[in-house]
Every structure is written in C-alpha cells, then in structure tokens.
Amino acid sequence: MHRLIRVLQATDPELAAHGLRTARLAADVGQSLGLLPETVQLIQGAAQLHDIGKLVIPREILDKPGPLDAIEWAELQKHPATGFDLVRHRVPIEVAKIVLTHHERYDGSGYPNALSAGKIPFEARVLQVADAFDAITSVRPYQDALSVGYAVGELTRCSGTQFDPDAVAALVSLCENDTWLRGLGLSESRVANVVAV
C-alpha cells in the first residue's frame, strides 16, 4: 500500500494531499463512531488511495473550471472501478472494496454499481462524508474553498440521500469542537460561522 501512496504522491501531489486530509477526517469520524482501530486503519488506507483511479483520467477533465458535459462526466465516473483494478492485488481486499464503492450513495443513486445503504461497506460510507467535507472546504478547479458552515449544511441536507446519517452526524458533531477544527489547518474564514445543526 505504501508503494502505491508514493506513486500517487509523485504523480499528483494535490490528489495525494487530498487523500491525506480525507484519511485524517475519516479516521476521526470512525473513531468518534467507536469503530475498531483496525477498521479505522482500513479506512485511512482506502482514503489515501480512493482517487488513484483519477491518474488515468485526462487532465483537461480533472482541471476543467466549469461543469462537465455528459461524456466527461461518464469518463470521470470510471475512476472508482479503475482505482479498484489498480489496487486490488496490492492492498487488503477490504481496502480495494472501499475504493470501489466510495461514490455509491446511501439512496442508491451513486456509481459505479448503484448500491444503497447497507450494501455499501460502512467504511466507504464514512469515507464518503470525509471526502465530501474536504472537497467542499478545499480549493478545486471548479470552485473556491467554502466554509465549514457551508460544508456542514450540505452534508446535513444530503444526510439519508447521498450520505449515511450516522457518519454525517459524527462529522457534524466534530465540527462543533473548535479545537478539532483548528487542528485541521483551515483558514479562519473557512472555520468562521459554523452552524450547529
């Protein structure tokens, strides 16, 4: 697994940094949910590799500043399955399955297999929430970094549809802790105005 992470760091440092941030968030959510340490470790490993399939997606799609068209979106949706194929013989199968399912949605509207609720590994459901939180609060080609308050609102709005409600509740609870938030290294403007839900 460490070799794959090094490849990702060398090939796409920003993607690797997103993976590290997501791993920390997912570990904190997992711990707050009382998951076993070995389960938290699996989630951390998967979080660091969850977007490795994007290494084969054309840069013009990944770096596009505006909305993707239908063809570009279909190409982007291949990255979980591609990531699974890249890692499945090099990491524990549980980690590979989390990589494969990290874009499935709680209500079954995700990809690549339209799995819902309990058919999605719980570890992947924890990762989804951490992944979304980091995506919202980080600079992306298509958006500036948004505030923690905005992220909390979006996660709460999509709880039970896109996201597992227990994982959302755990992350929202963590966001009410100023010390935890400051430890993430987010700017003051992004931490300000957190709305407790």
**Which residues are tagged catalytic?**
54
C-alpha closest to that of 161 among 109, 126, 113, 111: 109
CB neighbourhood size of 58 (10 A) = 11
- Encode burial over 24-56: b for 16+ CB neighbours within 10 A, e otherwise: bbbbbbbbbbebeeebbbbbbbbbbbbbbbbbe
Q: Specify the 3-state DSSP secondary structure of 92.
A: coil
